[in-house]
Each structure stands twice: as structure tokens, then as C-alpha cells.
Structure 1
């Protein structure tokens, strides 16, 4: 599916259309992921990159990819060592 977005001509003059298209896809994927509306994998797919590159994008935008607290992670790690 394609969606058309009207942008001011002076904005488009600063960047190539493919670059703008990619930035919009990444921004929308990041927003959907932040809202919890898509998984990390689906967000990466929408952004047009692999999951590791999208995780890097999340890091750059200060968006956590692990939503567990420090204590939850430590508790889980302790469960592994006791098994």
C-alpha cells in the first residue's frame, strides 16, 4: 500500500526523495513501536532494515528495546543460575 504525503517544496529541496521516504518509514516505525502497536520485528520490517539496525535506531532515539526493570532482569538471571 502506498500513502501520499504532501510536503512543502522548500523542504524537499534539501533532501533526495528516497532519503525522505526512508526517514518517514523509520520515524513511523519508531512511533508505532514506542506506542506498543507493533513488535520490534514488525517495526524493523516497516523501517526497511533488519532487527539489529532497528535496535540501533531505537538506541539513537533513546527508545528501550527491553522493557524489563533491572530487578526483573536480575531475578531472571538468578533463576538461570539456580537451575
Structure 2
């Protein structure tokens, strides 16, 4: 799916469109992760240009601690989701 945003050109003075898109995706992923809507794996996939350690480092810089799993079932669900995407 593709999403189109209209952003005034004056906001590209300090960064390129590619950099701005990456920042918007990163900030969105971090917010959704913080609110429990994204797992680390989903957030990394959403951003698309970093690994889980880089993502967790970015979270840490913003004062967001790593989320923990509330149950074994929740952990297993994420493992299963990631396994499906690996193949």
C-alpha cells in the first residue's frame, strides 16, 4: 500500500524527502511500539531501514524502555509471526 502526503517544500530545507520519510516512519513506529500496538519486529518491518537493535537504541534515546511480553502465548505468537515472514 502506498500513502501520499502533501508536505510544503519549506520543510525540505533541512532534510531531503528520503530523510523526512524515514523520520516520519521511525517516529510513527516508535509511537505505536510505545503504545503496545507494534512489537519490535513489526516496528522494524514498518521502518524498513534498520534492525531491531538500532530500533531499540532509537527508543532508548527517546526514553522508551523495551516492552516485555505479558505471557508465553504472546511471545509465541510473535515468534510464529516472524517465522512465517522468514520463509
TM-score, normalised relative to structure 2: 0.70
Larger radius of gyration: 1
CA distance in 2 between counterparts of 1:23 and 1:42 reads 16
The residue correspondences of 1:1-83 to structure 2 (distance < 5 A) are 1-48=1-48, 49-67=50-68
Structure 1 unmatched runs, 5+: 69-83
SS at match of 1:64: coil
| Offset from partner CA, 1:36-79 (integer Å, 9 cap, x none) | 101011111112211111010110111010459xxxxxxxxxxx
Q: How many residues align?
A: 68
Q: Which moved more, 1:49-58 or 1:11-20?
A: 11-20
Q: CA RMSD in A?
A: 1.5
Structure 2 unmatched runs, 5+: 70-87
Residues 66 and 35 of structure 1, relative CA distance in 2, 3 Å threshold: closer
CA distance in 2 between counterparts of 1:30 and 1:47 reads 9
CA distance in 2 between counterparts of 1:61 and 1:24 reads 15
TM-score, normalised relative to structure 1: 0.73
| Offset from partner CA, 1:7-51 (integer Å, 9 cap, x none) | 122112221111011101101100110111010111111122111
Structure 1 runs, 4 residues or longer, greater than 2 Å off: none
